[in-house]
């Protein structure tokens, strides 16, 4: 993966990083995309577009340049204005040019001076960013800083994650952090990187996962207790009446209720735990690869408990619905579905 591709991946996963970088408030619901310009062979890798309900907001064109290119502005502005010609409904635009340092910027050109000096174009030099405790900005610094500084910056991010709130969710920060380090340290496996940082070797063992899983367990326990009590009382009454015919109505009802409550609670707790885990996996999949189709949701619901555990371990390797489809096709044989 090239450095600019890693930047685009971060902006795609968390558009708020770009808005913090350029000093603007977060704009929720913006979508990141790459666009192939019709009949030109040009492709713009980074576009942040407003939702349809906010078309008056600007569209952001992002160019990340980590190599010297004297003709960068010729290409970038040509692509930008071709896009505006093909999509004339745009209300406003901003071009964000990101360099690791000023020396990689193309030489001055009178051709583009009016554009470069306009408020529509902003140039960012990562080496000139002031010291910050911002997790999103530190993630960007981690990409371009020397490899020797990577462990220190990664530990700084983990410390910030525990000490202060961030605009990014903890699970997303961990995901982006590991992805960046895998790119920066290709000679190390993901497990070795996790060990270096003190991160649990399995996503299911991380604090973030445990917190989310605990939420699912709480919901499952509540539902399981309600169902268990209801079924337990019903089963207890039936068993109590049957035994009461032999030993007396009073003794039979007492024993039946006791046994029914015990069995019902046990079954209800088990079912509640399994259903809570299933709902957790579905929420994590929706957050990771987008809202699942009804067909994909049903396939996940048909997985056994063992298969769901395997899917939980594979979450970090899934980047799209197609990846999930492929995983489901190669999933180990099922014994029984959760529901």
pLDDT in tens, 102-142: 999 999 889 999 999 999 999 999 999 988 888 888 898 88
In this structure, the answer to whether residues 9 and 24 fall within a common structural domain is yes
In this structure, the answer to whether residues 176 and 141 fall within a common structural domain is yes
In this structure, the answer to whether residues 107 and 135 fall within a common structural domain is no
Q: What is the percentage of the chain residues whose pLDDT exceeds 90?
A: 26
| 339 in a structural domain | no
| pLDDT for res 235 | 76
Nearest to 59 by CA among 51, 71, 69, 68: 51
| 334 in a structural domain | no
Residue 200 has pLDDT above 80, yes or no: no
In this structure, the answer to whether residues 45 and 119 fall within a common structural domain is yes
pLDDT confidence band for 246 (50 / 70 / 90):
confident
In this structure, the answer to whether residues 105 and 179 fall within a common structural domain is no
Residue 257 has pLDDT above 70, yes or no: no
- Spatial distance between the Cα atoms of 290 and 293, rounded to a whole number of angstroms: 9
| 192 in a structural domain | yes
- Spatial distance between the Cα atoms of 32 and 96, rounded to a whole number of angstroms: 14
Range with lowest mean pLDDT among 158-172, 173-187, 208-222, 225-239 = 208-222
Residue that terminates a domain, selected from 128, 161, 177: 128
In this structure, the answer to whether residues 39 and 102 fall within a common structural domain is yes
Average pLDDT over residues 211-226: 55
| 337 in a structural domain | no
Residue that terminates a domain, selected from 128, 162, 184: 128
Residue 40 per-residue DSSP state: T
What contacts 225, CB < 8 A, 6 or more positions away?
265, 268, 269, 272
Average pLDDT over residues 273-277: 74
| pLDDT for res 261 | 61
| pLDDT for res 202 | 44
Question: H/E element holding 43?
Answer: strand 43-49
Residue 293 per-residue DSSP state: P
Q: State how many domains the chain has.
A: 3
In this structure, the answer to whether residues 17 and 118 fall within a common structural domain is yes
Q: Could you tell me how far CA 14 lies from the centroid of its own chain?
A: 8
| 137 in a structural domain | yes
Higher pLDDT among residues 244 and 122, named by residue: 122
Residue that terminates a domain, selected from 199, 232, 252: 199
| 338 in a structural domain | no
| 19 in a structural domain | yes
Mapped onto helix, strand or coil, the DSSP state of residue 50 is coil
In this structure, the answer to whether residues 120 and 138 fall within a common structural domain is no
Higher pLDDT among residues 216 and 221, named by residue: 221
| 262 in a structural domain | yes
In this structure, the answer to whether residues 114 and 143 fall within a common structural domain is no
Kindly give the pairing relationship between strand 59-64 and strand 93-99. Answer: parallel
- Spatial distance between the Cα atoms of 200 and 178, rounded to a whole number of angstroms: 12
Look over the chain and give the mean of its residue pLDDT values, rounded to a whole number: 81
> Around Cβ 76, how many Cβ atoms within 10 Å?
21
In this structure, the answer to whether residues 89 and 42 fall within a common structural domain is yes
- Helix%, strand%, coil% for the chain, nearest 5: 60, 10, 30
- Residue 260: give the domain boundaries: 207-329
Q: What predicted TM-score, i.e. pTM, was given to this entire model?
A: 0.57
Domain of residue 19, CATH code: 3.40.1350
Higher pLDDT among residues 125 and 264, named by residue: 125
In this structure, the answer to whether residues 145 and 233 fall within a common structural domain is no
Average pLDDT over residues 214-227: 59
In this structure, the answer to whether residues 9 and 94 fall within a common structural domain is yes
């Amino acid at each position: 993966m090239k450095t600019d591709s890693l930047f685009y991946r971060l902006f795609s996963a968390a558009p708020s990083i770009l808005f913090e970088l350029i000093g603007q408030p977060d704009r929720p619901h913006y979508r990141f995309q790459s666009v192939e310009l019709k009949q030109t062979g040009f492709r713009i890798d980074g576009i942040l577009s407003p939702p349809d309900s906010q078309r008056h907001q600007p569209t952001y064109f992002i160019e990340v340049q980590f190599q010297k290119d004297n003709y960068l502005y010729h290409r970038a502005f040509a692509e930008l204005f071709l896009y505006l010609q093909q999509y004339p409904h745009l209300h406003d635009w901003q071009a964000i040019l990101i360099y690791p340092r000023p020396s990689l910027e193309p030489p001055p050109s009178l051709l583009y001076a009016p554009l470069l000096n306009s408020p529509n174009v902003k140039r960012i030099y990562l080496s000139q960013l002031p010291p910050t405790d911002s997790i999103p900005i530190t993630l960007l610094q981690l990409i371009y800083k020397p490899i020797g500084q990577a462990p220190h910056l990664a530990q700084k991010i983990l410390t910030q994650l525990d000490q202060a709130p961030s605009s990014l969710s903890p699970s997303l920060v961990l995901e982006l952090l590991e992805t960046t380090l895998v790119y920066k340290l290709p000679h190390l496996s993901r497990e070795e990187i996790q060990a270096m940082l003190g991160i649990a070797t399995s996503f299911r063992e991380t604090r973030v996962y445990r917190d989310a899983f605990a939420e699912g367990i709480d919901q499952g326990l509540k539902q399981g207790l309600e169902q268990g009590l209801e079924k337990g009382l019903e089963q207890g009454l039936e068993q109590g009446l049957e035994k009461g015919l032999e030993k007396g109505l009073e003794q039979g009802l007492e024993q039946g209720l006791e046994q029914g409550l015990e069995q019902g609670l046990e079954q209800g707790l088990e079912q509640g735990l399994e259903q809570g885990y299933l709902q957790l996996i579905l929420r994590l999949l929706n957050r990771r690869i987008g809202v699942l189709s009804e067909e994909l949701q049903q396939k996940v619901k048909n997985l056994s408990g063992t298969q769901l555990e395997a899917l939980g371990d594979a979450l970090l390797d899934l980047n799209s619905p197609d990846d999930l489809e492929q995983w489901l096709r190669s999933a180990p044989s099922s014994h029984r579905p959760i529901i």
